[in-house]
Amino acid sequence: MSALLEIRDLAVHFPRPRRWREPPAVVRAVDGVDLDLRRGESLGLVGESGSGKSTIARTLVGLQRATAGSIRLDGSELTGLDARGWFPFRRRVQMVFQDPYGSLDPRQTVLSILTEPMEIHALRKPRERRLHALELLEAVGLNPHYANRYPHEFSGGQRQRIAIARALTVHPELVICDEPVSALDVSVQAQVLNLLRELQERYDIAYLFISHDLAVVRSLCQRVSVLYLGRVVESAPRDEIFEAPRHPYTQALIAAVPDPTRAAAHPPVLLEGEPPSPTRPPPGCRFHPRCPARALVPDDRCAREEPPLRTDGAARWTCHLEPGSAPEA
Partner 1 sequence: MALVEVRNLWVDFETPEATVHALDEVTFSIERGRTLGLVGESGCGKSVTARAMLGLLRSPPAVVRTGQVVVDGRDLMAMGEAELRGVRGREVALVPQDPTTAFHPLLTVGRQLTEVLEVHEGLRRRAADDRAAAALAEVGFGDARDVLHRYPHELSGGMRQRAMIAMALLCRPKLLIADEPTTALDVTLQAQILRLFRELQDRHGSAVLFVTHDLGVAAEVCDDVAVMYAGRIVESAPTRELFALALHPFTRGLLRARPRLDAPVDQGLAPIPGRHPELLERPPGCPFVERCEFALGPCHDQRPPFELWSLAGTARALHGRRVACFEARQVAAAQDPAVELRPQSAPGGRPA
Partner 2 sequence: MITDQREMRSGEDRLDPAQVLADARRIRGAGHWRRARARLRESRTARWSQRFLAVAVLLSLLTPLLPLPSPTALDLRALPRPPVGPWVQIGGNGFRREYWELSAVDSALVDVREALFGRWQTGPYLGTDSKGRDLLSRILWGSRTSLLVALAATACSLLIGVTYGAFAGLIGGRTDRLMMRLVDVLYSLPFVFLVIFVLALLDAWLDEAGGASRELVFYALVGAVTWLTMARVVRGQVLALKNAEFVQAARAMGASTSHIVFRHLVPNLLSVVIVYLTLTIPSILLVEAFLSFLGLGIQPPRVSWGLLAADGVEAINPLHSFWWIVVWPAVAMGSTLLALNLLGDGVRDALDPRGRAADTDRPAPGPGA
- Give the footprint of partner 2 on residues 153-182 (CB under 8 A): 153-156, 158, 163, 166, 170, 178-179, 182
Nearer to partner 2, 144 or 289 (CB): 144
Nearer to partner 1, 53 or 91 (CB): 53
Nearer to partner 1, 62 or 151 (CB): 151
Nearest one of 259, 254, 261, 263 to 234, comparing CA atoms = 254
Of 131-139, 280-288, 298-306, 307-315, the segment contacting partner 2 by CB under 8 A is 131-139
Partner whose binding site includes residue 139, from partner 2, partner 1, none (CB under 5 to 8 Å by kind): partner 2
Nearer to partner 2, 46 or 315 (CB): 46
- Binding to partner 1 (CB under 8 A) within 18-47 occurs at none
In angstroms, the first-to-last Cα distance of the chain is 33
Mark 209-238 with x for binding to partner 2 (rule: CB under 8 A) and - for no binding: -x-xx-------------------------
Nearer to partner 1, 55 or 115 (CB): 55
Nearer to partner 1, 66 or 210 (CB): 210
Q: Does 264 bind partner 1 (CB under 8 A)?
A: yes
Q: Rounded to 10 degrees, what is the CA torsion of 140, 209, 241, 262?
A: -60
Measured distance CA(165)–CA(113) in Å, rounded = 10
Q: Does 75 bind partner 1 (CB under 8 A)?
A: no
Q: Which of 12, 134, 226, 285 binds partner 2 (CB under 8 A)?
A: 134
Partner whose binding site includes residue 146, from partner 1, partner 2, none (CB under 5 to 8 Å by kind): partner 2
Cα 205 vs. chain centroid, distance in angstroms? 15
Which CA distances in Å does 60 have to 10, 77, 83, 165, 242? 11, 12, 13, 20, 27
Q: Does 276 bind partner 2 (CB under 8 A)?
A: no
182 and 212 Cβ atoms separated by less than 8 Å: yes
Q: Does 188 bind partner 1 (CB under 8 A)?
A: yes
229 and 52 Cβ atoms separated by less than 8 Å: yes
Site residue total, partner 2 (CB under 8 A):
71
Work out the angle at residue 32's Cα, subtended by the Cα atoms of residues 72 and 91, and round it to the nearest 5 degrees. 30
Q: Rounded to 10 degrees, what is the CA torsion of 239, 75, 179, 248?
A: 40
Q: Does 257 bind partner 2 (CB under 8 A)?
A: no
Q: What is the DSSP letter of 327?
A: P
Q: Does 32 bind partner 2 (CB under 8 A)?
A: no
Q: Does 196 bind partner 1 (CB under 8 A)?
A: no
Q: Cite the DSSP H helix spans in the chain.
A: 53-60, 83-92, 110-120, 126-139, 156-168, 186-203, 214-220, 238-243, 248-256, 301-304
Q: Does 256 bind partner 1 (CB under 8 A)?
A: yes
